[in-house]
């Protein structure tokens, strides 16, 4: 069957006319979509910078948390812009929002553990049970806090080992913060034989504590009999020192007690 040139020309003319009509009808939508994308992108960047700078001026507000809220606002604006752009082309925004909600629910269920860490990270940053540089013990986790992230917290143990703990683990257990109050109490116990003078031992411990400059005067150091045995008695020295000097003070007291006091024959 031969192709009629007149029919082919008519079909081509009809197709070109339809394309031209579509281009005219959608030109304004395309221009509007481009304008929305540009304005939305600029507005998202401006909102992110404004929130980040504004939260930095809030006293005590964590930098990680301010960055999180700024980034969240940016992406929320971008998602809204994309929905508005699709609406320019006749796409039902209600179905788009429903689809986004379903996708978000599916992602949330798939990343349930990760979202728990994010929620716990936000609570840790807001309530501040520990800060960077503080020494803490949370269940099996012990160390000095190096960084508090949205997913996990980085710590350094006393032996120098790197430790990364999920935020949900740190949030769901009691926190022992050894640094927060600034001072710590410690006790050193010695054993005194039956033939030794207990009062003299207590005086020797108090004199040793008085010679250590890092020990606090208030509350004052005190000594007491902590345990009675068949052939010996345990005497305890209790004192307070700053959290920063805790280990150094204890080591120095142990040296003085084991060396200076015991070797002097006072008890």
Q: Is the pLDDT of residue 10 over 80?
A: no
- What is the structure's pLDDT at 113? 65
Q: What is the pLDDT of residues 175-227, one digit of tens each?
A: 999 999 999 999 999 888 877 788 888 888 998 999 899 999 889 999 999 88
Full-model pTM = 0.62
pLDDT > 90: percent of the chain: 27
- What is the structure's pLDDT at 1? 47
- What is the structure's pLDDT at 135? 93
- The residue-averaged pLDDT of 129-140 equals 90
Q: What is the pLDDT of residues 75-104, one digit of tens each?
A: 888 888 888 877 766 666 666 667 667 766
**3-state SS, residue 173:** coil
Domains and CATH numbers, the chain: 5-110 (1.10.287.1260), 128-177 (2.30.30.60), 183-263 (3.30.70.100)
Q: What is the pLDDT of residues 256-267, one digit of tens each?
A: 888 765 555 555
């Amino acid at each position: 069957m031969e192709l009629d040139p007149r029919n082919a020309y008519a079909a081509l003319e009809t197709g070109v006319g339809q394309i031209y009509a579509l281009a005219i009808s959608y030109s304004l939508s395309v221009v509007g979509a481009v304008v929305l994308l540009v304005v939305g992108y600029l507005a998202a960047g401006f909102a992110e910078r404004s929130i980040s700078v504004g939260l930095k001026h809030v006293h005590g507000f964590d930098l990680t948390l301010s960055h999180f809220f700024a980034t969240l606002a940016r992406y929320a604006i971008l998602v809204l812009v994309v929905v508005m752009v699709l609406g320019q082309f006749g796409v039902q925004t209600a179905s788009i929002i429903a689809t986004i909600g379903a996708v978000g629910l599916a992602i949330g269920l798939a990343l349930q553990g990760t979202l728990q860490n994010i929620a716990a990270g936000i609570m840790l940053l807001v309530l501040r049970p520990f800060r960077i540089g503080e020494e803490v013990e949370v269940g099996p986790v012990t160390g000095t806090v190096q960084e508090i992230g949205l997913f996990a917290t980085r710590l350094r143990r006393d032996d120098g080992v790197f430790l990364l703990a999920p935020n949900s683990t740190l949030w769901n257990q009691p926190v022992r913060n050894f640094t927060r109050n600034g001072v710590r109490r410690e006790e050193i116990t010695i054993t005194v034989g039956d033939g030794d003078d207990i009062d003299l031992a207590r005086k020797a411990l108090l004199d040793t504590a008085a010679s250590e400059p890092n020990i606090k005067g208030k509350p004052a150091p005190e000594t007491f009999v902590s345990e009675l045995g068949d052939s010996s008695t345990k005497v305890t020295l209790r004192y307070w020192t700053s959290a920063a000097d805790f280990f150094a003070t204890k080591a120095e007291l142990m040296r003085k007690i084991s060396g200076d006091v015991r070797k002097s024959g006072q008890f």
